[in-house]
Chains A and B, each alone.
Chain A
């Protein structure tokens, strides 16, 4: 038999509203067979049904009422239809002389107590979890201090957080979360009002049914959740997946190749050795990220090796130390095109800080370069160096370990932002 699905235009916690809507559907010849995120009906003879929701008591079977309850209700002319989640059993009668399920308001109010308690406890747990997550984030951002970090700066990376906040997946997630919280609080308010009225011996407050807004809410929930699931679970959208490591052979955006920086020839691992890299993850790859504030945002990580082995065959270092190690320079680069050019310098500093090896003492200096808004160079006593270059909304940040001096290669680096 053909089934008909409809979005439910009332809150599941608006008990009289839900009952009235089901009765209206039955008058139009639709009998409910499933009620959840949406309602499923099957055609039935058009007649007057009375539907009543009965809260599933604490510790009761969510699938169906107990035999005792079923028998009591049946003797009074009521039949069980289905359960709605772990919240309600749905009963109906077509007998106009059947007594109401609840003969007084207070007992109906009492029947809502388990649902009210469960919902209060759920909301309380949710608030606690959200507060803990927020507290952990605040602690990690503003109070965490690594004992190895010799130049801590708690605020310098915040602009990168801003870019991440404008990631479409995160925005979608936050939008979904805010939307759900809003619905949950509204449902909770509806339930509390209904309970309070019933316990005072008053009928539940009238509900505005059917509500087009609630139908839109339900549609929007599906519309938000479906792409979120697609983005996060299926992970097909590589360009939006910040964890996706793309091999450089199939990456076609501009970057400074490490071989162009080195005076002596260097090769990628795969070009030099038949064996796979000694680490599991690839050493040379690109990451593409996206933020509405930074439509272009990608990083390229490169490690290269001298064909000349060191005296210690398996040891690698950006500093060959008189032939003891095989020379193996690193070059990391992140490039941004920002929608707000005013953010360029702070984003550059933030990216430099995220590249910074925290146990090294870094010296920063600004140098002039024709046509660029800024060039920041950072050096250490070790072979590690950084450079950040910006022009308008274009920013390129480099982190290098090797025998070259980035300051001597500004022409190559500047090509990334000019």
Chain B
């Protein structure tokens, strides 16, 4: 699935990709990041996270960089960064559209 054909990201997908922007992350760190970033509004279930990590790996949006016992660390690929950027642009456009059509 390419960036242009994949359609909008779900909220958990968007935040999981966001978690890799500044550094490589392992599963637990991603969960903590998303919870902290959203002020507890988005709590990733472990099944959700594990499914998304598998899917992003299949789509080559992230890649495994380190295996340390039970801990696996992942890195955002340039394709992943571009998918994230596209979604961010889409969301910005949504917000801009909404701002221009302010509620009465």
Verify B51–A107 contact, CB threshold 8 A. Answer: yes
- Residue of B at shortest CB range from A113? B55
Chain A residues, Cβ within 8 Å of B28 = 71-72, 75
Is B42 an interface position by the 8 A CB rule? yes
Interface residues on A, range: 20 to 34
Partner of B46, one of A67, A73, A104: A73
Verify B27–A72 contact, CB threshold 8 A. Answer: yes
Known: A104-B10, A104-B11. A69 touches B45 (CB 8 A): no
Verify A101–B70 contact, CB threshold 8 A. Answer: no
Chain B residues, Cβ within 8 Å of A99 = 43-46
Task: Kindly state the separation between the CA atoms of A104 and B11 in the bound complex, as whole angstroms.
Answer: 9
Verify B50–A71 contact, CB threshold 8 A. Answer: no
Residues from 26 to 62 in B contacting A, C-beta threshold 8 Å: 27-28, 31, 42-52, 54-55
Verify B27–A104 contact, CB threshold 8 A. Answer: no
Chain B residues, Cβ within 8 Å of A54 = 47
- Residue of B at shortest CB range from A201? B10
CB distance from B28 to the nearest CB of A (A): 6
Chain A residues, Cβ within 8 Å of B48 = 101-104, 107-108
CB distance from B89 to the nearest CB of A (A): 21
Known: A57-B54, A70-B70, A110-B55. A75 touches B46 (CB 8 A): yes
Is A78 an interface position by the 8 A CB rule? yes
Chain A residues, Cβ within 8 Å of B69 = 67
Is A52 an interface position by the 8 A CB rule? yes
Interface size on B, residues (CB 8 A): 23
CB distance from A96 to the nearest CB of B (A): 14
CB distance from A101 to the nearest CB of B (A): 3
- Residue of B at shortest CB range from A75? B28
- Which of B31, B42, B44 has the largest number of chain A CB atoms within 10 A? B44
Q: How many A-B contacts if CB must be within 8 Å? A: 75
Is A259 an interface position by the 8 A CB rule? no
Chain B residues, Cβ within 8 Å of A39 = none
Verify A103–B42 contact, CB threshold 8 A. Answer: yes
Chain B residues, Cβ within 8 Å of A111 = 47, 51
Chain A residues, Cβ within 8 Å of B71 = 68, 71
- Which of B11, B46, B52, B70 has the largest number of chain A CB atoms within 10 A? B46
Q: Mark A46-76, 1 if CB is under 8 A from B, else 0.
A: 0000001010010000000001111111011
Verify A103–B70 contact, CB threshold 8 A. Answer: no
Task: Kindly state the separation between the CA atoms of A67 and B46 in the bound complex, as whole angstroms.
Answer: 13
Residues from 103 to 141 in A contacting B, C-beta threshold 8 Å: 103-104, 106-108, 110-111
Verify B11–A68 contact, CB threshold 8 A. Answer: no
CB distance from A87 to the nearest CB of B (A): 15
User: Footprint of A on B, CB under 8 Å?
Assistant: 10-12, 27-28, 31, 42-52, 54-55, 69-72
User: Footprint of B on A, CB under 8 Å?
Assistant: 52, 54, 57, 67-73, 75-76, 78, 99-104, 106-108, 110-111
Besides A73-B46, A102-B45, 5 other CB < 8 A contacts?
A: A72-B31, A73-B47, A102-B51, A107-B52, A110-B51
**CB-based closest 5 A-B pairs:** A101-B47, A103-B45, A107-B48, A71-B70, A76-B46
15 residue pairs of the A-B complex, CB under 8 angstroms, read A54-B47, A57-B51, A57-B54, A71-B27, A72-B31, A73-B47, A75-B28, A75-B46, A76-B45, A99-B45, A103-B45, A106-B10, A107-B10, A110-B51, A110-B55
